[in-house]
Amino acid sequence: MTPLIINLAPTGMVPTVRDNPSVPLTPDAIARDVGGCRQLGAAIAHLHARDADGRPTWDPAVYRDVITAVRQQAPDIVVCVSTSGRTFPTLEQRAAVLDLDGDARPEMASLTLGSMNFPQQASINDPSTIEALASRMRERGIVPELEVFDLGMLDYARYLIDRGILQPPFYVNLLLGSRGTLAATPLNLALLAQAVPPAATWAATGIGRFQFSVNAMAVTMGGHVRVGLEDSLYMDTARQDRASNTRLVERVATLAGAAGRRLASPDEARSIIGLPARPLAAR
């Protein structure tokens, strides 16, 4: 099988240290976690920024600090940033991180392909915003990390591809098990995997207690995985054993070894996805 790409989502927008003391919130803490997970086999870092009080922020200055710190700890890792509208509704807020340049320039950025309900709030992604974000990413040479929570979002991806709004390469994250979106079942994952755009690279995760089961299915199906405290705060379904990012990555790396799949390096991940190579001078 293709080497397994591990996409690490270390922080997210919701968890705090009250939920799990291992959640990294500052640039240095995020960078340390990413560095440790890179050593264990992570190839992509899906980054969210937090302000000095630990709250989500769209501020590009904070993102610059996070990305700079991450690249000091893991110079070769693929850097992906969030353009989530879960907290920040305006296009300019969501797109600000895309204008970072130099060593802080992201290689990928999340693009959620529809609106949905999370357990405590709605995430609004109207068509004009999705198209505008996709266009800005294309103009900046940033590859969208297409986030899919329901089957209809893949239909919408094909619509955008047919009209040239989304262009190759395609990387799709399939996220199952969040209340209000598609359930984390083998049938649903199989349907999503079958429906991804041709030539797309796909990864999957389960939210909360479903993370490991969906990761395991993706590994054996030939897909890739997303792991991290953004999606799951515990190692066990009984919610007794608090997770850490390194433990979550180590677990899926062990699973990949048992399944006969070696882990992709960041450079291999770039090649598999279709990202430009990162110059050695930038590392």
Task: Look up residue 85 and give its DSSP letter.
Answer: -
Instruction: Delineate the domains of the chain, giving CATH numbers in brackets.
Output: 6-282 (3.20.20.70)
199 backbone φψ class: left, alpha, beta (φ>0; ψ -120 to 50): left
pTM over 0.75: yes
Each residue's pLDDT, cut to its tens digit, for the chain (283 residues) gives 899 999 999 999 999 999 999 999 999 999 999 999 999 999 999 999 999 999 999 999 999 999 999 999 999 999 999 999 888 889 999 999 999 999 999 999 999 999 999 888 889 999 999 999 999 999 999 999 999 999 999 999 999 999 999 999 999 999 999 999 999 999 999 999 999 998 999 999 999 999 999 999 999 999 999 999 999 999 999 999 999 999 999 999 999 999 999 999 999 999 999 999 987 666 6
Asked if 256 and 215 count as a contact pair (C-beta separation under 8 A), the reply is no
CB atoms within 10 A of CB 278: 18
